[in-house]
Amino acid sequence: MSIKVFLVDDSPVALIVLKRILNSSAEIEVVGTAHTAKEALALIPTIKPDVICTDFHMPHMDGLEFTQEIMANCPRPILVISTAVQREDTYNVFQLLNAGAVDVFPKPKNGLLNENSQLAQDLIRKIRILSGVRVFTRRNRSSESPRRVNSPANLPASSTSISTSSLISKPIRIVGIGASTGGPQALHTILTQLPANLSVPIICIQHISEGFLQGLVNWLNVQCSLSVQIARNGEIPQNGIVYFAPERYHLEIDRQGRFLYSSAPPLAGHRPSITVTFQSLARYYSDRTVGILLTGMGRDGADGMAAIAQSNGITIAQDEASSVVFGMPKEAIALGAAHQILAIDAITSVLLQHIERRHPQHLKANDRGSKNI
């Protein structure tokens, strides 16, 4: 059965190009198009597409209001396809993700884009992924209690053995967070709950279409008490700052504790790779590391979680019920590399408990303070 896609864009050229690209795949069928959000809202409940693609800028009703209406009345996976070249545009795009859209993708700039081009193939792959995701409205996220910490006695036979002594050992010095599909929303949930006086730096690796990273960082920087920025090559991580791995480079920590951009080949198709960063954190910070692996397709980050666990660091995987795509966390769990498996709403409080246990004099969980700029 083909994946049914509905396209919403006020540009006739964009609709033609997108329709041609998607219909070039035997797995995908464009079942409807609309030039306005209101027109789309009238058609979608009857057509019942598997995936909706929309731009932000549309007449009469913009993409944000459209997304809110869809999520309230007939929730479907929504892919935001946008040029997003201006700062305010990228901020708006991530407002759509916060409202329930799943992912973002750059709008093809060339009306003659070949169906076999890399961008076209990336779009087709993105649609395949979205057709199988779990859709969340803003208020139906799971808030299950934390599961018990794994011990060697209750791990599967094929799992990596993990020591839990790290839970009561040296102070935490770094937190690494990896995410893919559904990651911007999950990161928003975690990071907006953290206090401005956090006693450790956080390094985030987010798989995202090229051109949207700065917009994600800008959006989170406005939303969070912590300062959020892209890591700079040669910089030393500072407490209370959230750093994102840059586009096109792996992010590592060198022997002097500084950020190191690496142009080594992609790992499992990704650069930056979550595993590359996590392995680097495990080498440099050892048992003073917390690794968190969030929603996403594939297995990037699983081996990195294992490296942190084997170094006696703390590892947390997002649970299936709250993951948009339960791929990367599932792979880490299968390796026995997750000390704790938590709903997204529980991760921040547990992380703060781990940090406070190791830094009791430095952190008051309820003190959000003001952003350090």
Q: What are the catalytic residues?
A: 180, 207, 300
Which of 19, 136, 15 is CA-nearest to residue 70? 136
Structure tokens at 296: 């996403």
Count CB atoms within 10 A of the CB of residue 49. Answer: 22
The answer to whether 337 touches 315, Cβ cutoff 8 Å, is yes
| Continuous segment of H or E residues that includes residue 206 | strand 202-206
Cα 159 from Cα 370, distance rounded (Å): 42
Cα 190 from Cα 165, distance rounded (Å): 25
Cα 22 from Cα 30, distance rounded (Å): 7
The answer to whether 329 touches 341, Cβ cutoff 8 Å, is yes
CB burial of residue 199 (10 Å; 0-12, 13-18, 19+): middle
SS3 28: strand
Q: Compute φ and ψ for 247, nearest 5 degrees.
A: -70, 145
Which of 20, 78, 88 is CA-nearest to residue 57? 88
DSSP string, 61-80: S-HHHHHHHHHHHS---EEE
The answer to whether 325 touches 297, Cβ cutoff 8 Å, is yes
